[in-house]
Amino acid sequence: MLEVLPQLFINGLITGSIYAIIATAFALTYSVTKFIDFAHAAIVLVAAYAFFSVSSSQFPVLGDSLFTAILISIFTGAIVAVLLKNFVYRAFMNKKASKAVLFIVSIIVYFIAQALVQLAFGTDTKTIKGVEILPIEALGTVFSQIELGIIIAAIIFAGMLFAILKYTKIGKEMRAVADNYELAEIAGINSKEVFLKTYFIAGLFASATGITLGLERAIEPAMASTIMLRAITAAVIGGLGYIPGAIFGGYFLGMAESIMGFYMPSGFKDLFAFALLFAFLIFRPHGIFGKKGRV
**Contact positions vs another protein (CB under 8 A):** 35-36, 88, 91-92, 95, 97-101, 103-105, 107-109, 111-112, 114-116, 118-119, 225-226, 229, 232-233, 236, 240, 265, 267-268, 270-271, 274, 277-278, 281-282, 285
Query: For residues 112 and 142, which CB has a smaller minimum distance to another protein in the complex?
Result: 112
CB nearer to another protein: pick between 167 and 283 = 283
Give whichever of 62 and 101 is closer to another protein, judged by the CB atom.
101
Q: How far is the CB of 141 from another protein (least distance, A)?
A: 29
For the chain, the maximum distance between any two Cα atoms, rounded to a whole number of angstroms, is 60
Residues 295 and 244: their CA atoms lie apart, in Å, by: 8
We find the least distance from the C-beta atom of residue 238 to another protein, in angstroms, to be 14
Compute φ and ψ for 244, nearest 5 degrees: -55, -35
Using alpha carbons only, give the angle 253, 9, 294 rounded to the nearest 5 degrees: 30
H-assigned helices in the chain: 5-33, 40-55, 60-64, 66-83, 90-94, 99-121, 145-167, 169-179, 181-186, 191-216, 223-238, 243-262, 271-283
Looking at beta carbons only, is 117 or 194 nearer to another protein? Answer: 117
SS3 content of the chain, % helix, strand, coil (to 5): 75, 5, 20
User: Which residues make beta-bridge pairs with 144?
Assistant: 135
| Shortest distance (Å) from residue 136 CB to another protein | 33
Is 96 or 169 the residue whose CB approaches another protein more closely? 96
Q: Residue type at 286? A: H
CB of 191 to another protein, least distance (A): 20
Round to the nearest angstrom and report the end-to-end CA distance of the chain. 40
Nearest approach in angstroms of CB 152 to another protein is 30
We find the least distance from the C-beta atom of residue 203 to another protein, in angstroms, to be 20
Specify the residue, 110 or 248, whose C-beta has the smaller distance to another protein.
110
